[in-house]
A and B are shown apart, each in its own frame.
Chain A
Amino acid sequence: MKSFILIISARVIVPVMLIFSVFLLFRGHNLPGGGFIGGLTAGAAFVLHAFAFGMESTFKALRIRPVKIIAIGLLLSFLSGVIGLVTGEGLFKGYWLDWDVSFLPKLGSPFLFDVGVYVLVMGIVMVIIFPNIQEDS
């Protein structure tokens, strides 16, 4: 059942949620926030999208299966650890870049790890909730 109110409000809320989730991710290094919470928010945004427009259109918007999203998240986090392994300083050694862009957080391998967590949690939220949407309709 599609609700007109939900569709109209989802059009506004989903982009805001996604932008806010990225904001949470960026903020997370020193302040409350981070990959996990950002990922939950982003996942919730897609779930809302699925409730409003149906699963088909969400999958079309994503272009990729949620399981693959989990795998990509794991890969990103893993890569952040491998950098240290390659340089021989030890797994998950933290490296930071020197650039300072005003709106970006401090870039480096710990941030890459956080991005991985963000993507992973986003995927997991979808994997858990999507099958339940299907059953109800």
Chain B
Amino acid sequence: MASESSAIATGEWHPANSSRAVPAILREEGVLLVAVEEGRTLASAVPERIEISPRVGSIPRRVRFPDGSVFETRDNDGVDGYLRVRRGPRNGLLHRLEKFHPRLILMTLAVILLATTIYRFAVPVLVEVAVLVTPPFVPDLIGSGTLASLDRTILKPSDLPEGERQAISEGFSKLAAQSKGGQGAYRLNFRDGGVIGPNAFALPDGSLILTDDLVKLANGDREMILGVLGHEIAHVEGEHSLRQLYRAAGVAALVMLIAGDVGSGVEDILTQGGALLALSYSRAAEAEADRRSVELMRAAGYDPVALARFFAVLEDKLGDHRDASILSSHPGTPQRQQDIRNYAAQSGGRLQAR
């Protein structure tokens, strides 16, 4: 042979679809790329018709000939050297980016920055879009399903006297009539809360649950109960629980998409833990609901700051003097009372000025 052939890499050659392996050398012979075994040509083709698997770390490279036979080698550098000459210096760029190098620190910082940006800005937008496209029966389904399962497990029928319930319901109707959805959008349910104690909560379909213990805690102050109910109406109006649900699901989905493989343990924490997290409202949602309670109460002709009285009772009985806590998503009670009074004074002032 006139032209000196140059070896690219040593490895093994497999006939098409066969496990049989022959020690071989990959080399360039003129315009052809050939796999040879001690001078015997095993396969050859023009480079254009040959597939070479892209480099990933230092795993074996596969050079696939048109006849289906494969030359496999661990000599990644040999193959890369050949490809850079043949296909230009940009070849294998991805692998060079991935190499362990101080540059990776920069990339890590970029990832942290981008991830924070996504969390702060993209997630809220995605949540809003999801809320917008949610068909109305979804909250209904969640609401009725949750109430049914709560009734089976924790809640018991209310023991309150009929007159008491009647009176609260009447006030509640007046309050609901002032909300965006109108009176028909809400249903008030009385229950014995069992272990959950004095509490009131709203389900996304407009079902509100008021526990007997809360009524007892109010000690005859009905306006205070209505203040709490106004707060819960606001949660439904603002679709806060749906938002929280989407938020938890969205964060979990994004983490799994972006990180690719987070491991089954972390995956479980993201999905199950996210569901737990979805049960609580964010600090901003609570503050919004507090303000809305003031507005609804005033519009219905009640004391706008009745909700603040509830927090005062809570503070008194529960000894909840925290200003805010890292563990809780709720602003501390003293702070909330103050915010409610401030807001009532502000918005009240505006009303009078008009």
Q: Is A bound to B? A: no
Residues of A whose CB lies within 8 Å of any CB of B are none
